[in-house]
Amino acid sequence: MEVKARAPGKIILAGEHAVVHGSTAVAAAIDLYTYVTLRLPLHLDENNDRLTLQLKDLSLEFSWSVARLKEEIPYDDSSNFSPSTPSSCSSETLKSIAALVEEQNIPEAKIWLSSGISTFLWLYTSILGFIPATVIITTELPYGSGLGSSAAFCVALTAALIASSGSDKTRGDGWSSLDETNLELLNKWAFEGEKIIHGKPSGIDNTVSAYGNMIKFCSGEITRLQTNMPLRMLITNTKVGRNTKALVAGVSERTVRHPEAMNSVFIAVDSISKEVAAIIQSKNENSVTEREERIKELMEMNQGLLESMGVSHSSIDTVMQTTLKHKLTSKLTGAGGGGCVLTLLPTLVSGTVVEKVVQELESSGFQCFTASIGGNGAEIYFCSD
Amino acid sequence: MEVKARAPGKIILAGEHAVVHGSTAVAAAIDLYTYVTLRLPLHLDENNDRLTLQLKDLSLEFSWSVARLKEEIPYDDSSNFSPSTPSSCSSETLKSIAALVEEQNIPEAKIWLSSGISTFLWLYTSILGFIPATVIITTELPYGSGLGSSAAFCVALTAALIASSGSDKTRGDGWSSLDETNLELLNKWAFEGEKIIHGKPSGIDNTVSAYGNMIKFCSGEITRLQTNMPLRMLITNTKVGRNTKALVAGVSERTVRHPEAMNSVFIAVDSISKEVAAIIQSKNENSVTEREERIKELMEMNQGLLESMGVSHSSIDTVMQTTLKHKLTSKLTGAGGGGCVLTLLPTLVSGTVVEKVVQELESSGFQCFTASIGGNGAEIYFCSD
């Protein structure tokens, strides 16, 4: 039996960093996906005892004997193993899993994959138990550049696991969503997976990836938004690696040094996020062009405020200047200090201009993606065989 | 008899644009001067009836018959002509003066000089009356790029006029300040002169030029500050002409569209200006290096906030990026949209680095000045002859 699942990445449209200090942030799904293909043997075969994980984009494969996994991972079958009630991975379990991951030959340069592979083993065995399978991952998202690749991985994997466990009854043609109950379940499992990778994730990434569309996030509370306008962005990956923790700490230290100024900056960002959310949800009071103009202005304002927090980077400036030459507005998205930059592509922008901008950015060594914003969340696909 | 006077230009250290919306701004004198040399004939000579103005840097000379000026300019001698009680130029007087200026052959490309030449005729005749003389102007300040060249012109000219009218008794060796009474008088006259050039000047430029040092400005109230630290800046003139009125209007329109966000931005700027003023006045609680670090950070924050107001420009970004490469922090100064950019030169920065930065900036077509901040105001110099 083969099940495919896909889950989108995300961008932060407004409010990054300030969200840590109580401001509202807005995040949106993008139509760049991580795909998971899950192949389960139709009949259990004593000769096939392997759980195999293929990371196609990295040309890496990892494989474990299912019997060994069962021996090593200390689940208490009677109580803990329960696919419909997501729980956190205990430190004891994580330790055993990490040992199993360490045995694999992960290339030194890709050692950051370890936590993702641990998450895989944990989600797989928690939801499907100890049965052999092949899981193939491909992704359109760059790893670790703030586009939510780890959440998309957790969500797509969990979607495939839930679908193949048979608990989802929606068997549409082609790609179809999960039902609300399973979406909720999926989101909870994915959040638990994100915890293994990130320690203390905000829950924004997995929620956007699971439900799609957009969300508003403030003081730990997530509100799903219904977008009423199409929005297209050019996403530029500067490929400059950043240290998110150091950037977040830097903003906090600056806030200690200049509390009055910084708190006003955070209040300004809060207003901007709320305005962005309102424009996106507004129903045709203004033309799309007018609404795009407003979003463009709010993006410019937010970028200025991010610069006043000290989280920009010369690579981001280069993207800003290149796009500005073509009258396009950009802002960093996520942690800053490199990472990714958003450029609004208005409905009326010509394809030639976009091509030119992309060409210029790529000749500076950046990687460009064009993405629609606020699309579908996790989806599954049952392959007829 | 020959008297020389000089008056400094100014920079806005913090708070431009936001000051229009009630925030505090900080301005400082720079050691770039406009010089005025005033030559009065020792004895009145019927054959010499000319008032001559030489603008050395522009290789321009204008000249009028004093008798003609007396005929054309409608002063009511008995009441209005009173050097010690500065008054505004009436629209009737200004009209007559403008006609006298129009007769001169001002090159088409320098037609913006007209109001400055009118100011000259008005200040000269109001303070010294109708006597022949030669007035020579030279300046280290670029015209019309936000460094207060017009105020420096008004202040230096008035200082020379007051000095030669004999009302100033301070006859020091070399350059010396005017006494407090005359400084006040000078500042008032210069403000009236600025009105002819700018319509509704804030009074910041002439106050800084007259008194030197630094000032804090908020809601029309000017407070003189006593600096307690040396501060050196690289000033880069992008040579991009800007329309100050349009930039100010743009910020106001943005404030109408996004009142909450923009008002928080203005509050943030207000805090920044107050912090800058406090650091500059603080007495050695922290080392110079520490204080420079704080000013650097506040400049970065202010620049981000100016960008969120939409008053930056790609030429400013270019200066930012060039200086950032050498770990130097910059912010626009004045109206933005081109104009001048400040770069803090910390005490410990090496001369080689500064040279390199200047070279790079000048190769981009910009003009660079190194200036000390917060120095002397207007000064006069009596030439022994």
Contacts of A307 in chain B (CB under 8 A): 300, 303-304, 307
**What's the confidence (pLDDT) of residue A48?**
83
Is A232-372 in the same CATH topology as A2-226+375-382? no
Half-sphere exposure of A328 (CA within 13 A, CB side): 27
Residue of A nearest to B272 (CA): A261
Stretch B86-94: mean pLDDT? 91
Distance from the first to the final alpha carbon of chain B: 7
CA distance A357 to chain B (A): 16
| Residue B159 CB contacts under 8 Å (≥ 6 apart), including other chains | B5, B6, B7, B36, B178, B186, B378, B379, B380
**What's the confidence (pLDDT) of residue B202?**
86
CA distance B116 to chain A (A): 36
Q: Are A157 and A206 in contact (CB under 8 A)?
A: no
Q: Does A84 touch chain B (CB under 8 A)?
A: no
Q: What is the pLDDT along chain A (385 residues), one digit of tens a residue?
A: 899 999 999 999 999 999 999 999 999 999 999 999 999 987 777 778 999 999 999 999 999 999 999 999 987 654 455 678 898 999 999 999 999 999 998 998 898 899 999 999 999 999 999 999 999 999 999 988 889 999 999 999 999 999 988 765 556 678 999 999 999 999 999 999 999 998 888 899 999 999 999 999 999 899 999 888 889 999 999 999 888 889 999 999 999 999 999 999 999 999 999 999 999 999 877 888 999 999 999 999 999 999 999 999 999 999 999 999 999 999 999 999 999 999 999 999 999 999 999 999 999 999 999 999 999 999 999 876 5
**What's the confidence (pLDDT) of residue A83?**
78
Q: Which residue has the tokens 């293909």?
A: A37
pLDDT in tens, B44-69: 777 789 999 999 999 999 999 999 99
Helical packing angle, B114-128 and B91-102, nearest 10°: 120
Contacts of A268 in chain B (CB under 8 A): 260-262, 264-265, 268, 308
Q: What is the DSSP string of B51-91?
A: EEEEEGGGTEEEEEEHHHHHHHS---TTTT--TTS--PPPH
- The fraction of chain B above a pLDDT of 90, given in percent, is 80
> Counting runs of H as helices and runs of E as strands, what totals does chain B give?
11, 13
ipTM: 0.89
Which amino acid does the sequence have at B119? T
Residue (of A244, A342, A348) closest to A302 by Cα position? A342
pLDDT in tens, A67-88: 999 999 987 654 455 678 898 9
Contacts of A18 in chain B (CB under 8 A): none
Confidence of residue B168 (pLDDT cuts 50, 70, 90): low
What is the Rg, in whole angstroms, of the alpha carbon atoms belonging to chain A? 21
Confidence of residue B356 (pLDDT cuts 50, 70, 90): very high
Confidence of residue B171 (pLDDT cuts 50, 70, 90): low
Contacts of A256 in chain B (CB under 8 A): none
Q: Taking CB atoms and an 8 Å limit, are B318 and A318 in contact across chains? A: no
CA distance B309 to chain A (A): 7
CA distance B270 to chain A (A): 8
CA distance A145 to chain B (A): 23
User: Pick from B271, B302, B314: which is nearest to A264 by CB?
Assistant: B271
Out of B31, B45, B179, B205, the active site residue is B205
Give the range among B76-80, B135-139, B322-326 with minimum mean pLDDT: B76-80
Q: Does B318 touch chain A (CB under 8 A)?
A: yes
Out of A173, A205, A317, A385, the active site residue is A205
- Residues 281 through 300 of chain A touching chain B, CB cutoff 8 Å: 294, 297-298, 300
Q: Does B20 touch chain A (CB under 8 A)?
A: no
CA distance A15 to chain B (A): 12
A72, with CB counted inside 10 A (0-12, 13-18, 19+), is middle
Q: Does A304 touch chain B (CB under 8 A)?
A: yes
Q: Does A43 touch chain B (CB under 8 A)?
A: no
CA distance B370 to chain A (A): 24
Contacts of A305 in chain B (CB under 8 A): 265, 304-305, 308
C-alpha span between B346 and B232 (Å, rounded): 7
Residue (of B185, B202, B189, B109) closest to B153 by Cα position? B189
C-alpha span between B204 and B207 (Å, rounded): 5
For residue B81, is pLDDT > 80? no
Q: Does A319 touch chain B (CB under 8 A)?
A: no
Q: Which two tokens stand for residue B50?
A: 């000319």
C-alpha span between A185 and A166 (Å, rounded): 14
What is the Rg, in whole angstroms, of the alpha carbon atoms belonging to chain B? 21
Pairing of strands A133-139, A50-55: parallel
Q: Taking CB atoms and an 8 Å limit, are B310 and A300 in contact across chains? A: yes
Q: Does B278 touch chain A (CB under 8 A)?
A: no
Residue of B nearest to A327 (CA): B314
User: Pick from B257, B307, B314: which is nearest to A307 by CB?
Assistant: B307
Contacts of A325 in chain B (CB under 8 A): 314
Give domain limits for chain A. Answer: 2-226+375-382, 232-372
**What's the confidence (pLDDT) of residue A244?**
86
Q: Is B205 a catalytic residue?
A: yes
Q: Which residue has the tokens 């010396």?
A: B176
C-alpha span between A359 and B132 (Å, rounded): 66
Which of A254, A267, A290, A308 would best serve as a mutation to test chain B binding (most B beta carbons within 10 A)? A308
Residue (of B291, B327, B330) closest to B307 by Cα position? B330
Which of B273, B307, B309, B327 would best serve as a mutation to test chain A binding (most A beta carbons within 10 A)? B307
Residue of B nearest to A325 (CA): B314
Which of B23, B26, B265 would best serve as a mutation to test chain A binding (most A beta carbons within 10 A)? B265
C-alpha span between B313 and B330 (Å, rounded): 13
Q: Which two tokens stand for residue A151?
A: 């959440």
Which of A305, A321, A325 would best serve as a mutation to test chain B binding (most B beta carbons within 10 A)? A305
CA distance B314 to chain A (A): 7
Q: Taking CB atoms and an 8 Å limit, are A308 and B310 in contact across chains? A: no
Q: Are A94 and A118 in contact (CB under 8 A)?
A: yes
**Which of the listed CATH numbers 3.30.428.10, 3.40.630.150, 3.30.230.10, 3.50.80.10 matches domain B2-226+375-382?**
3.30.230.10
Q: Does B253 touch chain A (CB under 8 A)?
A: no
Q: Taking CB atoms and an 8 Å limit, are A297 and B310 in contact across chains? A: yes
Q: Which two tokens stand for residue B239?
A: 């040579």
Q: What is the DSSP string of B242-309?
A: --HHHHHHHHHHHHHHSHHHHHHHHHHHHHHHHHHHHHHH--SSS-HHHHHHHHHHHHHHHHHHHHHT
Q: Does A301 touch chain B (CB under 8 A)?
A: yes
Domain A232-372 = CATH 3.30.70.890: yes
Contacts of B297 in chain A (CB under 8 A): 254, 257-258, 310
For residue B385, is pLDDT > 80? no
pLDDT in tens, B296-352: 999 999 999 999 999 999 999 999 999 999 999 999 999 999 999 999 999 999 999
Contacts of B317 in chain A (CB under 8 A): 317, 320-321, 324
Q: Does B265 touch chain A (CB under 8 A)?
A: yes
Q: Does B271 touch chain A (CB under 8 A)?
A: yes
Q: What is the DSSP string of B111-140?
A: GGGHHHHHHHHHHHHHHH-S--EEEEEEES
Q: Does A324 touch chain B (CB under 8 A)?
A: yes
Q: Taking CB atoms and an 8 Å limit, are A305 and B308 in contact across chains? A: yes
- The fraction of chain B above a pLDDT of 70, given in percent, is 96
Q: Does B129 touch chain A (CB under 8 A)?
A: no
Q: Does A305 touch chain B (CB under 8 A)?
A: yes
pTM listed for this prediction = 0.90
pLDDT in tens, A281-328: 998 778 889 999 999 999 999 999 999 999 999 999 999 999 999 999
